[in-house]
């Protein structure tokens, strides 16, 4: 066993694989940041709102007013530097910190694919992705290196494997497989697509998409890993992600996944890409590649190993909670649960001054944007944080003993809406933590499966 590990860790692969990945990753990040800016989302999502929903433990991370734009500009510049591979080590560190800071500012905008980008850029912090096809290597030939340890590339493959496979596992539940939910709700609303539009109204199509989607997610990492099926696998990746791009508003994510899947190809493929790109850009090839012997770097290996272990375990934390995962969302995020449910809710908060006994209801639009309100009304940690905010807000006007109650309803995957939070619980007194939230009412149904 030990010798197996030793031989594995001494295996090498071409640097080209990682260099190509770096360039594509940088391009994707550059354009997605540009897109974000051009849609005016910085203002709408991070400057307009009066209040922001923090992640537990990251309450100190807040948008910076107009300077929030600076964060995005820094992201833009650093992703450009990643593309050209200039001062790579610094630019990837800056990018990782900046991007992750942006994601932590308000969990309203949480998306699995933003988390995926943070994970990838974290991995890239420790990888020598600038040793080929980069300005760094051009300026300093001693950096230029033809081979790197194989695990440098494999760790990205493991990350992708986890994303796909876990997304597939999450689909193995009765709503997805037996009721074709939520696709049965989502697909018919694409009635205006040519050809597909009328097909998407048919029940068998909903089932085909549900089963096909689950099968795809579970199979694709294997198809990509196994050489004879690799091209077929990649073809499926393209078809699948282009289709999801058409059917659902998921931004740049499909393209990120498509280019990421290129990492599975062999070195000669990447060498060819670099060769062609160099010709196209009229770049002089660097001949004096050092077939470098570097000191073995244990620390990056340890950090990445630990990180991937956490990635493997984290999605299972929901098992520690008794309640229905879809209902309470305890342990839902950061687990590659993608497009799994259609959840809608309504939360009507009541503020009570227990000294005077007077009470009034809250118009959520006074404090939240409609996007924030939508996210808040179906997720208990949002509801609690908002309740605390309301308690603080109304305590400022001199009133003490403020109690906050909520009457809320949530509908999941086509079920009729049900009462969500216990309306008799004073949320101002409840503390947020990772402990089960016993003020969430029971889900009057059963979703079986993983």
Partner 1 sequence: MKRTKVWGFIILLSLIVFACSTSDDGGGTSEETDDNFNRSAMLINWADNIIIPAYTAFNADVAVMVQASSVFTETPSEANLQNLRNAWKDAYVSFQSVSMFEIGKAEELNFRNRLNVYPTDVTSIEENVSNNTYNFSLPSNIAIQGFPAIDYLINGLAGTDAEIVAFYNSESTATGYNGYLNELTNTVLELSTTVLNDWEGSYRSTFVAGTSSSATGSVDKLVNDFLYYYEKSLRAGKIGIPAGVFSVDPLPEKVEALYSKEIGKELLLAAITASQNFFNGKSFTSASEGESLKSYLDFLNTIKNGDDLSTLINNQFDISKTKAAELGNDLALQVTTDNSKMTETYDELQRNVILLKVDMLQALSINVDFVDADGD
Of 15-23, 278-286, 359-367, 423-431, which segment contacts partner 1 by CB under 8 A? Answer: 359-367
d(CA 370, CA 250) in angstroms, rounded, equals 19
- Residue 347, classed as helix, strand or coil, is strand
Q: Which is nearer to partner 1, 28 or 129 (CB)?
A: 28
| Cβ-contact 242, 257 below 8 angstroms | no
Q: Which is nearer to partner 1, 294 or 358 (CB)?
A: 358
Q: How far is CA 148 from CA 12, 50, 81, 262, 407, in A?
A: 5, 49, 21, 18, 58
Q: Which is nearer to partner 1, 287 or 370 (CB)?
A: 370
Q: Does 119 bind partner 1 (CB under 8 A)?
A: no
Q: Does 238 bind partner 1 (CB under 8 A)?
A: yes
Q: Does 414 bind partner 1 (CB under 8 A)?
A: yes
Q: Does 393 bind partner 1 (CB under 8 A)?
A: no
As to burial, measured by CB atoms within 10 angstroms (0-12 exposed, 13-18 middle, 19+ buried), residue 245 is: middle
CB of 244 to partner 1, least distance (A): 10
| Cβ-contact 366, 431 below 8 angstroms | no
Task: Work out which of 150, 165, 207, 342 binds partner 1, going by CB under 8 A.
Answer: 342
Q: Which is nearer to partner 1, 25 or 36 (CB)?
A: 36
Q: Which is nearer to partner 1, 296 or 398 (CB)?
A: 398
Q: How far is CA 101 from CA 30, 63, 210, 424, in A?
A: 17, 9, 35, 37
Q: What is the secondary structure of 232-297 as a DSSP string? A: HHHHHHHHHHHHHHHHS--TTHHHHHHHHGGGGS-HHHHHHHHHHHHHHTTPPPP---B-------
Residues 42-71 contacting partner 1, CB under 8 A: 44-45
Of 85-93, 300-308, 383-391, 414-422, which segment contacts partner 1 by CB under 8 A? Answer: 414-422
Q: Does 210 bind partner 1 (CB under 8 A)?
A: no
Site residues (vs partner 1, CB under 8 A): 39, 41, 44-45, 109, 111-113, 179, 181, 184-186, 188-198, 201-203, 231, 235, 238-239, 242-243, 245-246, 248-253, 338-339, 342, 344-346, 348, 353, 358-363, 369-371, 374, 409-411, 414-417
């Amino acid at each position: 066993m030990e010798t197996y590990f030793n031989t594995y860790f001494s295996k090498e692969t071409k640097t080209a694989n990682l260099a190509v990945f770096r360039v594509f990753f940088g391009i994707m990040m550059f354009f997605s940041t540009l897109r974000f800016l051009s849609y005016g989302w910085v203002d709408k999502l991070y400057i307009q709102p009066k209040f922001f929903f923090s992640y537990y433990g990251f309450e100190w991370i807040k948008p910076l007013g107009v300077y929030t734009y600076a964060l995005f500009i820094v992201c833009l510049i650093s992703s450009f530097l990643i593309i050209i591979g200039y001062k790579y080590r610094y630019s990837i560190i800056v990018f990782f910190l900046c991007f992750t800071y942006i994601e932590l500012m308000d969990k309203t905008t949480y998306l699995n694919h933003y988390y995926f980008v943070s994970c990838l850029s974290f991995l890239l912090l420790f990888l020598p992705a600038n040793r080929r096809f980069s300005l760094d290597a051009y300026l300093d030939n001693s950096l230029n290196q033809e081979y790197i340890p194989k695990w440098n590339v494999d760790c990205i493959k493991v990350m992708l494997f986890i994303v796909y496979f876990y997304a597939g596992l999450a689909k193995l539940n009765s709503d997805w497989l037996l009721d074709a939910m939520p696709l049965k709700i989502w697909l018919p609303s694409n009635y205006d697509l040519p050809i597909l539009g009328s097909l998407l109204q048919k029940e068998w199509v909903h089932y085909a998409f549900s089963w096909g989607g689950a099968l795809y997610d579970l199979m694709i990492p294997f198809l990509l890993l196994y050489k004879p099926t690799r091209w077929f696998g990649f073809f499926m990746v393209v078809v699948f992600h282009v289709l999801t791009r058409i059917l659902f508003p998921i931004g740049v994510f499909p393209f990120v996944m498509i280019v990421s899947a290129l990492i599975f190809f062999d070195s000669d493929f990447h060498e060819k890409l670099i060769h062609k790109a160099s010709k196209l850009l009229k770049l002089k090839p660097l001949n004096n590649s050092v077939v470098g012997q570097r000191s073995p770097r244990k620390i990056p290996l340890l950090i990445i190993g630990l990180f991937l272990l956490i990635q493997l375990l984290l999605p299972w934390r929901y098992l520690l909670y008794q309640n229905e995962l879809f209902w309470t969302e305890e342990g839902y995020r950061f687990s590659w649960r993608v497009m799994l449910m259609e959840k809608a809710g309504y939360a009507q908060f009541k503020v009570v001054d227990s000294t005077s006994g007077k009470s009034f209801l809250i118009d959520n639009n006074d404090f939240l944007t409609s996007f924030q309100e939508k996210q808040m009304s179906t997720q208990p940690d949002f509801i609690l944080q908002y309740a605390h905010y309301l308690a603080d807000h109304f305590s400022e006007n001199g009133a003490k003993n403020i109690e906050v109650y909520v009457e809320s309803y949530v509908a999941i995957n086509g079920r009729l809406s049900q009462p969500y939070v216990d309306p008799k619980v004073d949320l101002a007194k409840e503390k947020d933590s990772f402990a089960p939230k016993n003020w969430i009412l029971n889900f009057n149904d059963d979703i079986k499966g993983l």
